[in-house]
């Protein structure tokens, strides 16, 4: 009986305990990597969010219906909040910021190899979550770059039918000119995605 117990202890030392130690070391290593990645990702995300919040389009929309055309997209007339047609109490930049803040870090570590992946919202997911108030299949974020129609028929007015309380669309053209397409989130996202890829490569070994 004693010899059987002795053999079991030897088997534990030879095979089971080393494997358990590997699992423990892997778990500890993943904790170390996660801490480092979290810190680095925090810095990358904060830089991106600040660029987003400081963009003239974001700043203008964040002013609400009482803002002015800081972005120059409307030739200085009225503001984007009213032209896009947000409801007076909406906070579109706050909503968009919450989406852009999201991320998930995934770490796989085995056989001495560590793989790091960081998931953030894709452009398509962002566009889907930012519909125009009057055209649910289109994104107001994307429209800042691809264009919005109706500028020639837009007039500032506190008309009861105005969602924003800032303006309405008339039935006839009242001015020449059009909305000025402006580089917005896509460029910021491209830089953000590139920085995330560099971060993943730095910690994938």
pLDDT tens column, 106-162: 988 777 678 899 999 999 999 999 998 877 889 999 999 998 876 545 555 554 454
pLDDT band at 32 (very low <50, low <70, confident <90, very high): confident
Greater confidence, 107 or 19?
A: 107
Which of 25-34, 118-127, 154-163, 185-194 has the lowest average pLDDT? 154-163
pTM of the complete model: 0.78
Over residues 40-55, mean pLDDT: 98
Strands (E), the chain: 104-110, 113-119, 131-132, 135-139, 154-156, 167-169
Q: How many domains does the chain have?
A: 1
- Give the residue carrying structure tokens 């289109």: 138
Which residues, other chains included, contact 45 with Cβ-Cβ below 8 Å and sequence gap of 6+?
A: 101, 103, 192
Question: Looking up tokens 């649910």, which residue turns up?
Answer: 136
Position 80 confidence tier, pLDDT thresholds 50, 70, 90: very high
- Highest mean pLDDT: which range of 31-35, 169-173, 189-193: 189-193
Distance CA 114, CA 126 (A): 30
Q: 173 near 153, Cβ under 8 Å?
A: yes
CB 57 within 8 A of CB 83: no
List the Cα angle 181/103/197 in 5-degree steps. Answer: 75
Give residue 18's pLDDT: 44
Q: What is residue 49's predicted lDDT score, i.e. its pLDDT? A: 98
CA–CA distances in Å: residue 25 to residues 20, 67, 112? 9, 56, 10
Q: Does residue 66 surpass a pLDDT of 50?
A: yes
pLDDT of residue 148: 85
How deeply is 64 buried, as exposed, middle or buried, from its count of CB atoms within 10 A (0-12, 13-18, 19+)? buried
Note down the domain range covering 46. Answer: 2-203
Most confident of 80-89, 94-103, 132-141, 177-186: 94-103
For residue 76, what pLDDT band results from cuts at 50, 70 and 90? confident
109 Rama sector, left if φ>0, alpha if ψ -120 to 50, beta otherwise: beta
Q: What is the mean pLDDT of residues 53-65?
A: 97
Indicate whether 24 pLDDT > 60.
no
**DSSP bridge partners of 167:** 156
What is the length of the chain? 205
What phi-psi label fits residue 15: left (phi over 0), alpha (psi between -120 and 50 degrees) or beta? Answer: alpha
Q: Note the pLDDT of residue 8.
A: 43
Q: What is the pLDDT of residue 52?
A: 98
């Amino acid at each position: 009986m004693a010899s059987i117990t002795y053999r079991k202890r030897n088997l534990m030392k030879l095979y089971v305990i080393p494997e358990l130690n590997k699992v423990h070391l892997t778990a500890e290593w993943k904790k170390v990597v996660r801490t480092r990645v979290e810190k680095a990702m925090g810095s990358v995300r904060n830089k991106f969010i600040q660029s987003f919040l400081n963009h003239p389009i974001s700043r203008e929309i964040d002013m609400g219906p009482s803002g002015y055309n800081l972005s120059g997209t409307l030739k200085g007339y009225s503001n984007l909040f009213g032209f896009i047609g947000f409801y007076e109490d909406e906070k579109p930049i706050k909503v968009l910021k919450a989406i852009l803040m999201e991320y998930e870090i995934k770490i796989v570590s085995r056989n001495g190899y560590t793989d790091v992946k960081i998931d953030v919202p894709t452009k398509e997911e962002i566009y889907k979550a930012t519909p125009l108030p009057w055209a649910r299949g289109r994104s107001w974020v994307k429209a800042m770059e691809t264009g919005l129609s109706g500028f020639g028929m837009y007039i500032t007015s506190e008309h009861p039918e105005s969602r924003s309380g800032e303006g309405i669309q008339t039935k006839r053209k009242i001015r020449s000119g059009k909305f000025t397409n402006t580089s917005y989130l896509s460029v910021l996202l491209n830089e953000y995605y590139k920085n995330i890829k560099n971060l993943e490569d730095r910690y994938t070994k």
